[in-house]
Chain A
Amino acid sequence: MNSESIINPKYDLSQYEKISEKYEKDPLAYLEQYYTKYFLIDSNENTSEDFYIYQAPNKLCVIGLAPTHPLLQQSQKVKSIKFDEKISQSINKKKQNPLSVKSEICVITTEEGRNYSIKAGIVGWVINFNMRLDKDDDLLQKKPFTNGYLAIIKPKQDVPSKALNHCIDEEKYKEIRKLNI
């Protein structure tokens, strides 16, 4: 490297052609740089309350609504998002029992009075609720896969295959839900 490029670095764009192509097709493709995507399919055959779980390299999991979730499929207006108070208060406190997959962490109520229960989805501890959802009602439905995430959970199990073995990858999710995005 010469001294000029140490002060004023040049970037070889040919290295980034492929990634740019991918990003142009899907502006959200950048998330794959930071997360491994998993999906949690509704166990009830008649509903499709599905969730995504993004896992970061540090094992933390971001949970949010999958594209097939009724709140994103039908035009329902969200009235309130209530995070579980007990869990809220336990964040950052030591020696908490981990939540189970089925533990309810949040309830979303629509204007029509429908309640959607949001579960932890993995065994672990909530370390952050997305409090911006409180301030901005539209965020959940407008940017569900980024700014509208619901919570960040620290899995009890460090090994992803153990922590997330009840989840499926994106390909399988699309296959089951017959999506071709």
Chain B
Amino acid sequence: MSKKRFWENDHELIPQIRVSNESDRWKRVRYDDVNEDIEVLYSNVMQYVMENYINLTYRTIVDTLLDIKCCARCIFRFLGVRDYKCYATSEEVLLKILNRIRLNEENITTSSTLQEEHPSTNILLSKTQEKPICTTCFDLLYQADTIECLWPIIENFNSHNFQVKTFNLSVSLPSGTIINNHSIKVYIRQTCRERNLSVDLSNTIDLKDPFKHLLGWSIEKKLGLKYYYQSPFNISIEYYHKNSQQNHLILTHIPSAEFQLKKVRIKGKAIWTGDSRQNIIAALEKVPDSDFISIAKCPPLEDKERWENYPPILEHSAIYVGGRYIKLSREISQSPWIINGERLAETSIAECIGEILREKFKCDDYNFVAAGREDVNVRMLGNGRPFYFEIMNPRNPFFFQQELDNTQKEINKTHKNLVQISHLTMITEQDLVIIKEGEETKRKTYSALVWISKIVTSEIIDKINQYQDKEFIIEQQTPIRVLQRRTQMVRPKIIYSMKAKALENHFLTLQLQTEAGTYIKEFIHGDLGRTKPNLGDLLDCYADIMALDVLEVDLKWPPN
């Protein structure tokens, strides 16, 4: 059944088109604990630089990258700076540090021809359309902590009104950044080779790492949440860059890359596969620089387009709530009973409870699971049947027991004549298996109203009651009423206890305790002799069942 998703119109709350607000592009979120002290930062950064580069190649790297107007943060990546707090410093400070790195050592050799500042410095600091777009990150890292980058996440979060304390972040960066990063590495190596410098770029920081940290900190700051990698609440966002989307296809022209795309047909549509990130990275590793230079643009061409993003997906992992239910009606089913689009029972246990839980947890959807089931015309009484709900993507995942108690009261009041629940409580994913096992292994106690073709006498009652403390085995062929979907077979089942009470004339009540999976109705009317022995056989008459109730499902639930 396709349930109406309560929140399915949520996306309408999020404006589809990014509001173009020029100032958002430059406006950065300020973190509290960022050190802007240039001396401290400089020595901090130099520690990494000295660790990663034994000779003066790092100066060449800084110069080369400034020449091609790489953003300061990306240059930090190529220098191997692993302290991401350094990246959070303002662009002005970062460029001052970079200029100092390239000049300080130079001073020793007293080369007076060098300028104080690299000529790209000014244009890199510009906050207009003049600023060149970084060819390695398409300005994603440059903008990681800007309002423009955060805006879709904040809007989405607020419109869904998630009540969470932590978040985890999954980002997917444009595939073009892989090729361009590689191209820049090749370019650096080439430049160094021309100057007879050896260089090892293996300590370059992957674009994703500082990006996720900066974006994560900004979200922490703006939404007041904690960035926690095991958080059940996940923010997932995919970025793309139109102009470079197909750049990896150059690999198909480089034989040493062994990069092959496969055309597969999915539902009649031709789709190319084999261009996953891993495949692209693996292929690039095989390519000698000389092969790469002959085909690819090295350094990458300047681009006029920046990054873009698909709408972010904010999702809380499923949570579970369990309890026991009593079904008082012979008119409602356990789960929605719909055959060929036609509703055969007005409502169901699942809906009576689930729709109220949906409101409380503000979830996309729910799944109802119970330890076994009863037919529509069977009541579930006694201690109730264990159940749980899987709550999908709750906006409001935290509940105190007090609130659950109130929810239970509300459900019981709303559906007074249909359903009553008890022990409603939060449960863990590990508890779920108990219900599934219980379905197959637990004893059930039933009460049945039975008609027999003889007048009920005390002899008849005695005959039944001799089994009160004496178990016996019946053999049940698959009942005809389920034979259309279950294989024909014979199942032996234990009746642990059977006792009767005489009512009037042809009527008696029968209380049975049986093994899980026993078909009670068939035991009573015999199912055309397919259950042997049946009640009729034992009493040598015809028997039929008028009403059936489940009294007990012998399972400790919820676990606590």
Contact = CB atoms under 8 A, between A and B. Distances in A.
Interface of A: 1, 6-9, 11, 13, 16, 19-20, 23-24, 27-28, 30, 33-34, 56-60, 62, 91-92, 127-128, 130, 132, 139, 143, 146-149, 152, 154
Interface string B139-175: 0000000000000000000000000000000000000
A33 B525 CA distance: 11
A6 B382 contact: yes
Given A62-B528, A128-B488, A146-B528, A57 B481 contact: yes
A1 B328 contact: yes
Nearest to B340: A158
Given A6-B326, A30-B544, A147-B529, A13 B447 contact: no
Interface stretch (B31-39, B50-58, B104-112, B504-512): B504-512
Contacts of A59: 484
Contact of B507 (A13, A27, A143, A148): A13
Contacts of B447: 8-9
A13 B503 contact: yes
Residue with the greatest number of chain B CB neighbours at <10 A, chosen from A6, A20, A62, A130:
A6
B267 to A, nearest CB: 26
A147 B326 CA distance: 36
B482 interface: yes
B123 interface: no
A13 B505 CA distance: 10
Contacts of B354: none
A11 B503 contact: yes
Contacts of A33: 544
Give the secondary structure class of B's interface. Answer: mixed
A2 to B, nearest CB: 11
Interface string B445-469: 0010101010000000000000000
B282 interface: no
A24 B506 contact: yes
The 3 closest A-B pairs by CB, nearest first: A147-B529, A30-B544, A27-B453
Nearest to A6: B381
A143 B529 contact: yes
Given A23-B544, A30-B542, A9 B483 contact: no
B interface bracket (residues with beta carbon within 8 Å of A): 20 to 34
Interface in B464-487: 477, 480-484, 487
B379 interface: yes
A1 B503 CA distance: 21
A152 B483 contact: yes
Contact of B451 (A23, A60, A147): A23
Given A60-B483, A154-B484, A11 B546 contact: yes
A8 B381 CA distance: 9
B526 A20 contact: no
B549 interface: yes
Nearest to B543: A30
Contact of B525 (A20, A30, A91, A132): A30
A132 B381 contact: no
- The CB with the most chain A CB atoms within 10 A, among B382, B477, B526, B529, is that of B529
Interface in B517-559: 525-526, 528-529, 541-542, 544, 546-547, 549, 551
B378 to A, nearest CB: 11
A92 B328 CA distance: 38
A154 B480 CA distance: 11
Given A6-B381, A11-B503, A149-B528, A20 B451 contact: yes
Contact of A23 (B326, B453, B509): B453
10 contacts: A9-B447, A13-B504, A20-B506, A27-B541, A33-B544, A60-B484, A128-B483, A132-B529, A146-B526, A147-B526
Given A58-B481, A60-B480, 10 more contacts: A6-B326, A7-B381, A11-B546, A13-B507, A34-B481, A58-B483, A92-B487, A127-B488, A128-B488, A146-B529
Contacts of B487: 92
Contacts of B546: 11, 16, 19
A111 to B, nearest CB: 24
B449 A11 contact: yes
A160 to B, nearest CB: 14
A108 B482 CA distance: 29
B507 to A, nearest CB: 6
A169 to B, nearest CB: 20
A130 B529 CA distance: 10
Contacts of A92: 487-488
A56 B480 CA distance: 8
